[in-house]
Chains A and B, each alone.
Chain A
Amino acid sequence: MWTLYKKEILGFLSSITGWVVIGIFLTATGLFLWVLPSGLNIPDGGYANLNGLFSLAPFVFLFLVPAVTMNSLAEEKRSGTLELLLIRPLSGTKIITAKYLAAFTLVVLSLLPTLIYYFSVYRLGYPVGDIDTGGFWGSFIGLLFLGAAFVAMGIFASSLTNNPIVAFLTAVVISAFIYMGFDFISSFFGGAALFVQAFGISAHYASMSRGVIDSRDVIYFLSLILFFLYLSVSFLGRRKWK
C-alpha cells in the first residue's frame, strides 16, 4: 500500500498537476488576501487575523481538490492500468486508501506554504506577534478536515467513471452540494431547517473555522470521509472485468 502511496505522490510531484494545484491555490489565496481590494484583504481589514483565508480556502478547494483526484481512478480505468493494479495482492480498500492519502498529502502540501501568511500577519500585528495563534491552528485543523472530506468525494467521483472530465465535474457538483447545498434547501423545511443544515459541511465548518473544535463536527467529518471512501471501494469492486 505504501508503495502505491509513494508512487502516487511522486506522480503528482513529477507531473505538472501537483505544482499547478499548489501554485493556483497560493496565487488565488495570495491575491485575495494581500493584493485585491476585497472584503478579505488583510492589510485593508486592519485586524491581525487570517479569517479571510479560512473563508476563502473552501471555495478554492472546491475546484482544486477535484482536479487532484479526477485522475486517480478514472485515468487508470481508461488506460487499462487499473487491471494491473487489481491483480496485485492488494485489496480494493488498500488501493483506495493509498490513493486517498496521496491526494490528501498534496492538499496538505498546498496548505503548508500558507504558514507564510501566518508569519506575515504575526510580524504585521501591532504589537508584533499579536495574533491568535491557538485560533489559527484550530481553524487550520478545520481546513484540513474540510480538505480531507473534499478529497474523499473526489475519489468517489473518480471511481464512478473512466472519464477524468466527468469525474472532475461530478466531484465539483457533489462537493458543492454537500458544502452549501443543504444550507440552500434547508429553508424549504421550516422547523427542521437546522436538522437539514446539519447534513451539510458549512454548518460544521463554521465553528471549526473560528478555532472551536467540537467533537460532533469531528465525528461528522470522519463519517463523511468513511462514507465516500466506502462507496468508492464498493464501486471499484463492483466493476465488470473486460
Chain B
Amino acid sequence: MRKQNNAPAQKTKKQYRKWLLTVIFIIAAANYLGSFYFTRIDLTSDKRFTLAGVTKNVLKQLDERLVCTVYLKGDFPAGFKRLEIQTREILEEFQAYNKNVRFIFVNPSASGNLKKREHFYRRLVNIGLNPTNLQVKTKNGLEQQYIPSSVTKAEKYLLNC
C-alpha cells in the first residue's frame, strides 16, 4: 500500500517543482514587462500627485543619475514634518517615472556638537542656502499661516534639485 502511494506522490513532487519554475517565470516576466508599460492613476481629488506632461518628458530624457540632497529632516513641528513628507512624496513620484532620480534627506542640525553644527551651517551658506531661524510656537491655527512661506523662511535649509 505504502509503496503504491509513494510513487504518485513522488511524481507530483516533481510536477510541483516544474510548475514552481513556470510560476516564478510568469511572475518575473509579468513584472518585467509591467515595468515598461505602466499607468499611474491618481485618485486624489486635487490630483496632487499627477505630474505635468512637461515634467514627465524631462524625466524621460534624464539618463544620468540625479541625486537630490534635501536638508529638511529633524525634529520639526507638525507643519514642517508635513512639508518634509510631501517633499519626499513628490520626489518619489519623480522616481516612479525614472529610477535615475535619487534623493537623500539630511538633517542639518544632526550633530550634537554646537561647533560642528555651526560649521555645517556655514558650509551650507557658502553654497547659497541661507538659514533663517524658525520660531514656531505650535498650536494649530498659527501653523496654517506659517506654512506657505516656510520653504524660504525655514531655519532648516532646503535645497531643491
Contacts and interface: CB of A to CB of B under 8 A. Distances in A.
Interface of A: 39, 45-47, 132-135, 137-138, 194, 206-207, 210-216, 219-220, 223, 226-227, 230-231, 234, 237-238, 240-241
Nearest to B45: A134
Contact of A234 (B16, B27, B44, B143): B16
Interface residues of B, number: 37
B1 to A, nearest CB: 10
Given A135-B43, A194-B99, A207-B40, 14 more contacts: A46-B140, A194-B102, A206-B92, A207-B49, A211-B43, A214-B38, A215-B38, A215-B40, A216-B31, A223-B27, A227-B27, A230-B23, A234-B16, A238-B9
A137 B43 CA distance: 8
Interface in B1-27: 5, 9, 12-13, 16, 19-20, 23-24, 27
B30 A219 contact: yes
Given A206-B92, A230-B23, A234-B16, A223 B30 contact: yes
Contacts of B93: 207, 212
Contact of B96 (A45, A214, A234): A214
B46 interface: yes
B82 interface: yes
> Which are the 5 A-B pairs with shortest beta-carbon distances?
A138-B43, A234-B16, A135-B44, A223-B27, A46-B140
A133 B13 CA distance: 49
B141 to A, nearest CB: 8
Given A194-B99, A214-B96, A134 B34 contact: no
A31 B42 CA distance: 30
Nearest to B44: A135
B145 interface: no
13 contacts: A46-B140, A135-B45, A210-B49, A212-B93, A213-B43, A215-B34, A215-B39, A219-B34, A227-B24, A230-B19, A234-B16, A237-B12, A238-B16
Interface of B: 5, 9, 12-13, 16, 19-20, 23-24, 27, 30-31, 34-35, 37-46, 49, 78, 81-82, 89, 92-93, 95-96, 99, 102, 140, 143
A214 B140 CA distance: 34
Nearest to A45: B78
A138 B40 contact: no
Contact of B38 (A47, A216, A234, A240): A216
Nearest to A137: B43
Contact of B49 (A39, A46, A211, A238): A211
Nearest to A227: B27
Nearest to A240: B9
B42 A212 contact: yes
A46 B46 CA distance: 19
Nearest to B99: A194
Contacts of B9: 238, 240-241
A133 B30 contact: no
A204 to B, nearest CB: 11
Nearest to B100: A194
B16 A237 contact: yes
Nearest to A230: B23
B5 A241 contact: yes
B50 to A, nearest CB: 8
